Amino acid sequence: MTSGEQQPQDPGDGLAAVVALRQLADRLEASEVERAVRDGWTWNRIAEALGVTRQAVHKKYAKRVAAGNNRGRSRDV
């Protein structure tokens, strides 16, 4: 940490903040991956943007994206 940043007094508070930030980052990543797929991005392009392999991003999000696509479709069709 730099001298201008505040550090929590209790390590438990600092660790709780780390957990909250990770959860927020995970939700943001998932949302943006879904949006990228809807916008026509390839898994390769998404992976490159995230700095991971295509296999890693596909394994993590393909089922979720497919489920999201199915939720948006009408069952009456």
pLDDT for position 40: 97
> 0.85 cut: is pTM over it?
no
Domain ranges for the chain: 29-70
Strand segments (E) across the chain: none
pLDDT for position 4: 65
DSSP string, 33-68: HHHHHHTT--HHHHHHHHTS-HHHHHHHHHHHHHHH
Per-residue pLDDT of the chain (77 residues; tens, 9 = 90+): 665 678 888 999 999 999 999 999 999 999 999 999 999 999 999 999 999 999 999 999 999 898 887 765 544 43
